[in-house]
Amino acid sequence: MSSQLDNCIPKTVHVVGKNLISHGNVSLDCLIPDCTWSGISENILDHFQQVHPDHIWWNGEKDKIITVHDITKPSHKVELIVAHSHLFWFHIKNDLESGNLYAACQHIATPNDDPNCRFMIRTVLKDKTCVSCVSCSTETRPHTEDLDKVLIDQKCAVRPIKKLSCFTNENNDVSFDVSISKIYYFQ
């Protein structure tokens, strides 16, 4: 499994002539609330397997149901996603102050990424009867971009909490179908 994931581990590089020279891994902090782990990208998957196994999503290309429990209370859920041989941070933030539920995805970039390739995250809300749904696709943001700025600038899926009542169950839980797609842009 680790050899399969070697390509998705971000490395830092410098340029010598026209060649990229690898110099280790990108420094990362664990984004799970209240976790103080800090290390290199090579070790982030091991950290999540040992400490946060319920917060790894191994196959982000396929739909997964993410549930936000009791949207009447503030929350911030974080998952590490492996999709298309890349790593992503996925955030669901229920912000009562702004009155919005946010779904943001940040790509942990590698220096050898194809410049014609981007990633889109798709979130789908379905009503209780599954008769109607609301779908939103947004481009993933760089992991180096400040999350608060991503949310404030609404560079992610945003749902007003007041309009979620037809999507909640008796416990005020709301669920999303989520997936990540690889998109090629040719110039």
Strands 86-95 and 100-108: antiparallel
Q: Phi, psi at residue 131, to the nearest 5°?
A: -85, -40
Tell the residue number behind the tokens 């400040």, with chain if given. 146
Segment 92-145, tens digit of pLDDT: 999 999 999 999 999 987 767 787 889 999 999 887 776 778 899 999 999 889
What domains are there in the chain, each with its CATH number? 2-184 (2.60.210.10)
| pTM, entire model | 0.81
